[in-house]
Structure 1
């Protein structure tokens, strides 16, 4: 009982302490109401309209930010097998493995491997951008909407194309549209079903070496001649993909045999069902 009495006394003390604040709050509230009454109705309505409009705009912006893109961009050198992968992901067909694109292949669909799944599956907007050097500017049209980039490398004919592939990947990893949004990149080693294909570890190391040479040579060029928006790596350290502004992972696939599980995993990590 003594404890209850002490609490009662304490509450009474707090009530007395808060009394001046209550009076002050009532005075402020009355002043605000009086000020509102002095405002002409037209001005008051206009102020309310502006407030509502601003609130709606802010809510709309927040919704847009929350709505994640479902676009995955396939890119890489000509002959790396991007288009075969595109068709495998779309309908499970390799198209005999002899597909060459001169225009982007673009479509929104449920991944072929997920067509038998029960429940709601989010479609993927997949874009296969041609690898020919003259057609690469088309890539810039799709990067701002990309949720992820799959950079396809021919693991079978890798060594003759290592430098060209590294240059292309370097350009992508230093683009402002890619870096600012921290778009994840999958370095996909294709055609790994062949016995003579190089492993993903070998390809990763060789491309890191080439990019290390590239950043050294390009940093020696005057700033006016550099087309890249960002630089790669850490100064005075050997380059590795772990130093990139974007998350870069390495995986294997075979478009011809339909082994696309690792690229599908990447897609689903960034395009949620």
Structure 2
């Protein structure tokens, strides 16, 4: 019986509030009413945008590329400033969330970065698809010393990254990082860029024929009728240099911090 009385009281109170609200709306001039509605609508929209921004903001950076390029050494340099004597290989993704080693002595609050080192072995590249959707940026590591023998394979892998639905739809920035530039026999980043563009241009022509045959639904690269250049990509593609063994990774760190604000 008490419950029924409570429900009756609640209904009466709600009806009273509705009547009072209707009377208030009738007494309020239309101009003030419209302004109030506009303010409430703008506030709701702003809260939605803030929530969406927080939801999509990512601190994940993915390291990928062919095996032997030095990805794992770069991972350890970022994490603890060590090359692990340059003998590191990985058959499973290395993951870690940490403040970059060079920032550990800085004062103030610094946002940790989630770094994922994806193995470059062809049989393990499917792992890349697990991490690309959450990536704020992708670092494609190229061996600047052994580049020419691996140019075709590197171009094919890079093509897969650049045409990935996750990368294209989110306009994920990509850094092509030429590693091992401390070696005398290392190729320059400009040479590597031009060779990759030439190879991808060839791949684009052959893959376009396949796409038109409805065998694949992957995204296409570049501008039709023009030679391919990274500048034609919807997402930003930049070229950098590094040396995992000597710890010269400034351009890599700058790329990361431009995407994951400290």
TM-score range, shorter chain: 0.7 to 0.9
Quote the residue 2:51 is aligned against.
Answer: 63
Instruction: Give the alignment's Cα RMSD to 1 decimal.
Output: 2.4
TM-superposition CA deviations, 1:79-119 (whole Å, max 9, x none): 00000000000001101111111100000000001111111
- 1:145 is the counterpart of 2:115: no
Structure 1, unaligned stretches of length 5 or more?
1-29, 37-54
The counterpart of 1:121, out of the listed 100, 103, 110, is 110
Quote the residue 2:203 is aligned against.
Answer: 214
Structure 2, unaligned stretches of length 5 or more?
1-18, 26-42
- 1:226 is the counterpart of 2:216: yes
Quote the residue 1:181 is aligned against.
Answer: 170
Distance in 1 (CA, whole Å) between partners of 2:217 and 2:64 is: 20
Moved over 3 A (4+): 55-62
Distance in 1 (CA, whole Å) between partners of 2:125 and 2:217 is: 15
SS, match of residue 227 in structure 2: coil
TM-superposition CA deviations, 1:110-154 (whole Å, max 9, x none): 000111111111110000000011110111111111110000000
Say which one has the larger Rg. 1
- 1:134 is the counterpart of 2:126: no
TM-superposition CA deviations, 1:31-58 (whole Å, max 9, x none): 981699xxxxxxxxxxxxxxxxxx9898
**What are the residue-to-residue correspondences of 1:55-204 with 2, within 5 Å?**
59=47, 62-66=50-54, 68-204=57-193
TM superposition score normalised by structure 2: 0.81
Distance in 1 (CA, whole Å) between partners of 2:261 and 2:77 is: 20
Distance in 1 (CA, whole Å) between partners of 2:123 and 2:217 is: 16
TM-superposition CA deviations, 1:180-216 (whole Å, max 9, x none): 1110000000000000000000000000000000001
SS, match of residue 224 in structure 1: coil
CA shift, 1:175, in A, is 1.0
CA shift, 1:223, in A, is 3.5
Distance in 1 (CA, whole Å) between partners of 2:205 and 2:230 is: 15
Distance in 2 (CA, whole Å) between partners of 1:64 and 1:194 is: 45
Distance in 2 (CA, whole Å) between partners of 1:211 and 1:116 is: 42
SS, match of residue 220 in structure 1: helix
Distance in 1 (CA, whole Å) between partners of 2:204 and 2:150 is: 18
Distance in 1 (CA, whole Å) between partners of 2:52 and 2:89 is: 36
CA shift, 1:59, in A, is 3.5
SS, match of residue 244 in structure 2: coil
- 1:262 is the counterpart of 2:251: yes
CA shift, 1:64, in A, is 3.6
Quote the residue 1:237 is aligned against.
Answer: 226
Distance in 1 (CA, whole Å) between partners of 2:92 and 2:48 is: 35
